[in-house]
């Protein structure tokens, strides 16, 4: 059950409306790096969270906060669109200022579909995609997915900050950037609390490594046909990060055999030529020979 406070989490102020920037802000709402993604990701992780209830509570609280961020960004989009015609009011009679705004980089759907409001789409008008939402049921795996989501979200917010000279927009984005900082640290703190690299890895730590083909557990396999020497790199030598093995650098080689598939089934209606073996004997004839 959710409750709403009609006041925004943080001030949203637009000093100079800019419909082109409203379009850019859509990426922070409905893009793969956006707030709808993290909101739904944390919510679905929470709704399916099993184990200590504190993790479920934390995910619910943060997912709910992300709703507030969607609201802030949607308000910013609307305010940037609201004044779209003001800067163009001195245009010659008969010229449509909104059309001029579109030609200047505005998303036409902000007029045609939403009536000067935000939408659940990215900056190109592509609808939000729920397949971006990660909720695996494994707490450690989900925390890494959350760090990635907050990291790319913070990268986007900083790029948006660089893309505007509007003081109000910079202030709002600076707040969102700060929250991304906290959330990155928050998910990393869970991973530390779970035991850090050595205890968490390999994920899932509940699967016995004795069941792995252990010769390949810590081998970096180079597929470079030139067969280069091992690089001076952390992943190519020394103790593994989980403390359970030694890294090696190996050149790729086949350990299996050439795959051999059976012939097509006649009722599958492949081409006749596919139904011939190397001796040019048809599948149907081979079936008859077998029966005889």
Q: What is the DSSP annotation of the chain?
A: -----SS-SS----SS--HHHHHHHHHHHHSTTSHHHHHHHHHHHHHT--S-HHHHHHHHHHHHHHHHHHHHHHHHHHHHHHTTTGGGTTSPTT--HHHHHHHTT--THHHHTTSS---SB-TTSPBP-GGG----S-HHHHHHHHHHHHHHHHHHHHHHHHT---HHHHHHHHHHHHHHHHHHHHHHHHHHHTTHHHHH-SSSTTS-GGGS-GGGTTEEEE--TT-PPPPS-GGGSEE-TTSSSEEEEEE----S----PPPPPGGG---GGGGB-TT--BHHHHHHHHH-
Residue 94 has pLDDT above 50, yes or no: no
Residue 45 has pLDDT above 70, yes or no: yes
Measured CA to CA, the distance from residue 47 to residue 58 in angstroms comes to 11
The pLDDT of residue 232:
97
Which of 73-87, 170-184, 201-215 has the lowest average pLDDT? 73-87
Residue 102 CB burial class (10 angstroms; 0-12, 13-18, ≥19):
buried
Mean pLDDT of 224-238: 97
Q: For the sheet containing 238-239, what is the strand order?
A: 219-222, 246-251, 238-239
Mean pLDDT of 234-242: 97
Mean pLDDT of 225-244: 97
Q: What is the mean pLDDT of the chain?
A: 91
The pLDDT of residue 238:
97
Name every residue whose Cβ is closer than 8 Å to that of residue 76 and which is 6 or more positions away in sequence: 12, 14, 22, 25, 169, 172
The pLDDT of residue 90:
41
**Cα torsion for 196, 43, 153, 147, to the nearest 10°?**
10
Which pLDDT band holds residue 99 (cuts at 50, 70, 90)? low
The pLDDT of residue 279:
60
Mean pLDDT of 193-219: 96
Residue 282 has pLDDT above 80, yes or no: no
Over residues 114-144, the pLDDT tens digits come to 999 999 999 999 999 999 999 999 999 999 9
Residue 91 has pLDDT above 50, yes or no: no
The pLDDT of residue 87:
46
Which pLDDT band holds residue 195 (cuts at 50, 70, 90)? very high
The pLDDT of residue 106:
84
The pLDDT of residue 256:
96
The pLDDT of residue 287:
52
Residue 193 has pLDDT above 80, yes or no: yes
Region of residue 161 (left: phi > 0; alpha: psi -120 to 50; beta: else):
alpha
Mean pLDDT of 248-256: 97
């Amino acid at each position: 059950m959710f409750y709403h406070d009609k006041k925004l989490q943080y001030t949203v102020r637009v000093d100079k409306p800019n419909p082109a920037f409203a379009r850019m802000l859509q990426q922070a709402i409905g893009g793969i790096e956006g707030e709808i993604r993290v909101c739904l990701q944390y919510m679905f992780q929470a709704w399916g969270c099993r184990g200590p209830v504190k993790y479920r509570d934390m995910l619910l609280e943060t997912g709910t906060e992300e709703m507030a961020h969607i609201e802030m960004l949607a308000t910013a989009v609307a305010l940037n669109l609201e004044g779209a015609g003001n800067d163009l009011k001195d245009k010659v009679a008969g010229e449509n200022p909104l059309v001029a705004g579109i030609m200047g980089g505005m998303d036409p759907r902000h007029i045609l579909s939403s009536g000067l409001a935000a939408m659940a789409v990215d900056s190109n008008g592509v609808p939000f995609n729920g397949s971006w939402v990660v909720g695996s049921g494994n707490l450690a795996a989900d925390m890494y997915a959350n760090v990635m989501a907050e990291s790319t979200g913070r990268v986007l917010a900083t790029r948006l900050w660089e893309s505007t000279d509007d003081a109000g927009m910079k202030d709002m984005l600076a707040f969102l950037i700060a929250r991304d900082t906290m959330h990155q640290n928050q998910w990393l703190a869970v991973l530390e609390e779970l035991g850090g690299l050595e205890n968490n890895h390999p994920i899932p730590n509940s699967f016995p490594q004795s069941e792995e083909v252990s010769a390949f557990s810590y081998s970096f396999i180079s597929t470079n046909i030139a067969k280069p020497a091992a690089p001076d790199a952390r992943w190519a030598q020394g103790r593994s990060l989980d403390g359970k093995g030694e890294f090696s650098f190996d050149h790729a080689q086949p350990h299996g055999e050439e795959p051999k598939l059976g012939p097509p089934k006649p009722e599958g209606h492949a081409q006749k030529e596919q139904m011939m073996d190397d001796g040019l004997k048809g599948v149907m004839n081979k079936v008859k020979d077998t029966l005889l």
